[in-house]
Amino acid sequence: MAKKTLDQLAMNGKRVLMRVDFNVPLRESLDVADDRRIRMALPTIQCARNAGAKVILMSHLGRPKGKRDPNLSLKPAALRLGELLETDIRTAPDCTGKDVEKLVGAMAEGDVLVLENLRFHAGEEANDAKFAKALAALADLYVNDAFGTAHRKHASTYGVPALMPKGTKAIGFLIQKELEFLGEALEKPERPFVAVLGGVKVSDKIGVIENLLGKVDRLLIGGAMAYVFMVARGQGVGNSKVEREVEKKGKKKDMIAVAKALLEKIEAADAEVVFPEDHLVAREPAADAETDIQGPEIEDGWMGLDIGPETVEIYREKLADAKTVVWNGPMGVFEIGPFADGTRAICNALAQVDEVGTAIVGGGDTAAAVDKFGLAEQMTHISTGGGASLEFLEGKPFETIEIIDDA
């Protein structure tokens, strides 16, 4: 997917409308609690500034559902951006309108203006043509550097570039990096290629598993999603959290039946698929709870909260010779001390892989775990897109990237 990149645009004196992902967590005091996504956008923003562009940033924050919510303003993100860039950042009162147009008209080369939360307008998620046209009118050039929303056909990610002339649309360095690492991992990985999938929802990863079965050498399963497969096999899971049913587009889907069908595909696949042999269990997810090691089944009254020590050793062995690893989803409730060992072990194993190959981490919880254990710098790449990275691993096309000019 060779797309025009930011450095291939002539930006001097031009108004560059840039879609970034400043959907960052805020504290109760409304200051930024985690600025990772802002920091990840800095190279693209700085490149545009250095090239003499007038940089207009747009993003969403939270889910205001088309209504203005002062608690979801982008002002705190803009303030943090200004601190990181060591410059004054102007914030607009809205995304469109005469006041915004005046602010844009007054911009000098190298200036940065942050538009207000896109999702204060229902037209953003609806990809409304009128809203997209008003945004596009602010710009000479368009840059998409928000991988976290690249799987969503919204006004800012699809409607706007659809209106921009050919030769004016590019991807930023962050999306370029995501496409390079995730794309190469799927299309031409150095082998052995191992995928590690965990987390709570198996429903989010069905398509990922099906797509990866024909690509990976090994697939390691952990987290609460493993319990769905245990139920499908007729194994006891005690009081463990099990995603038994999901509702999508008004229709309910039996996840146990889905897991049974997927197990048949796994049996027929060439890839080695490994499930936990034992589990760290407790009667409740609490730091002071009594724990036990049980397996392969979990007894009534107990809930699985992490993979067990035998499984940890098996997974370490399966990752020891890996040259490419993609990991999405923790192995347990790593936020609570006693149940962090499984996830920590995977983190340490990937840090070793990074020394000889490629270790890619995707998903918000997984990235948080890598941060918690102080190993973020030892990962080859940490994806900024949770749902986007999953859909990419499923092999789904991203129309918001396809619409960008080819290189």
Rounded to the nearest 5°, which phi and psi values hold at 174?
Answer: -70, -50
In a domain, 81, yes or no: yes
In a domain, 405, yes or no: no
Residues spanned by the domain of 337: 181-394
Last residue of a domain, one of 174, 191, 224: 174
Q: What is the pLDDT of residue 41?
A: 95
Q: What is the pLDDT of residue 359?
A: 94
> In total, how many domains does the chain have?
2
Q: What is the pLDDT of residue 140?
A: 98
Q: Is residue 387 domain-shared with residue 255, that is, in the same domain?
A: yes
Which residues are known to be catalytic? Answer: 37, 201, 364, 387
Q: Is residue 205 domain-shared with residue 292, that is, in the same domain?
A: yes
Q: What is the pTM of this model?
A: 0.87
Last residue of a domain, one of 142, 174, 206: 174
Last residue of a domain, one of 132, 156, 174: 174
Q: How far apart are CA 403 and CA 391, in angstroms?
A: 17
Q: Is residue 205 domain-shared with residue 121, that is, in the same domain?
A: no
Q: Is residue 162 domain-shared with residue 193, that is, in the same domain?
A: no
Q: Is residue 65 domain-shared with residue 206, that is, in the same domain?
A: no
Q: Is residue 210 domain-shared with residue 130, that is, in the same domain?
A: no
Rounded to the nearest 5°, which phi and psi values hold at 230?
Answer: -65, -45
Task: Identify the CA nearest to 57 among candidates 72, 40, 74.
Answer: 74
Q: How far apart are CA 407 and CA 405, in angstroms?
A: 6
Task: Identify the CA nearest to 229 among candidates 205, 198, 263, 252.
Answer: 263
Q: Is residue 217 domain-shared with residue 294, that is, in the same domain?
A: yes
- Helix 225-232 and helix 255-268, axial crossing angle in degrees, nearest 10: 80
In a domain, 316, yes or no: yes
The answer to whether the peptide bond before residue 192 is cis (omega within 30 degrees of 0) is: yes
In a domain, 361, yes or no: yes
Q: Is residue 163 domain-shared with residue 206, that is, in the same domain?
A: no
Question: What is the H or E stretch that residue 21 is in?
Answer: none
What tokens were used for 82? 């200004």
In a domain, 404, yes or no: no
In a domain, 277, yes or no: yes
In a domain, 370, yes or no: yes
Beta strand segments in 153-289, E: 169-171, 193-197, 218-221, 245-248, 251-254, 272-274, 279-282
3 state SS of 75: helix
Q: What is the pLDDT along the chain (407 residues), one digit of tens a residue?
A: 589 999 999 999 999 999 999 999 999 999 999 898 999 999 999 999 999 999 999 999 999 999 999 999 999 999 999 999 999 999 999 999 999 999 999 999 999 999 999 999 999 999 999 999 999 999 999 999 999 899 999 999 999 999 999 999 999 999 999 888 888 888 889 999 999 999 988 888 898 999 999 899 999 999 999 999 999 999 999 999 999 998 877 889 999 999 999 999 999 999 999 999 999 999 999 999 999 999 999 999 999 999 999 999 999 999 999 999 999 999 999 999 999 999 999 999 999 998 999 999 988 889 899 999 999 999 999 887 777 888 888 888 899 999 999 99
Sign of CA dihedral 150, 326, 204, 338: negative
Q: What is the pLDDT of residue 183?
A: 85
Q: Is residue 64 domain-shared with residue 153, that is, in the same domain?
A: yes
Q: Is residue 150 domain-shared with residue 243, that is, in the same domain?
A: no
Q: Is residue 251 domain-shared with residue 350, that is, in the same domain?
A: yes
CATH number of the structural domain spanning residue 85 = 3.40.50.1260
Q: Is residue 317 domain-shared with residue 244, that is, in the same domain?
A: yes
In a domain, 86, yes or no: yes
Cα separations in angstroms, 119 against 21, 24, 65, 368: 13, 14, 6, 25
Gap between the terminal Cα atoms of the chain:
9
What DSSP character marks residue 157? I
